Amino acid sequence: MEKLNLNSLTKEQIELASKCQTPEELIELAKKAGVELTKEEAQAYLDELENMELDKETLENVAGGGKHNTETSARINAKLYG
């Protein structure tokens, strides 16, 4: 299994992840996608999702959802990684 690369998530994957209520649910979802995720990583990602509201433009520019926009990528990375 591979490690989670937040920059490669699709809009659909982000939406599915945002529906997870517990780290265990997110770990199971990630496992189905062939991604290895620790409980700590899952909790941290859920915390980020809770604190981050992605507007439609941002979601459209996430990998696979629209044209590559360096400014949008930087904004997403700043929100995800501090």
Taking only the tens place, the pLDDT of each residue in 7-54 is 677 888 888 888 999 999 999 998 988 888 899 999 988 888 876 655
Range 73-79, long-range pairs (CB < 8 A, 24+ positions): 73/7, 76/7, 77/6, 77/7, 79/48, 79/51, 79/52
Helix (H, G, I), strand (E, B) or coil at 54: coil
Taking only the tens place, the pLDDT of each residue in 41-74 is 999 888 888 766 555 566 666 655 555 556 656 6
- Rounded CA gap, 32 and 44, in Å? 19
pLDDT over 80 (residue 82): no
Q: Where are the alpha helices (DSSP H) in the chain?
A: 11-18, 23-32, 39-51, 56-61, 70-81
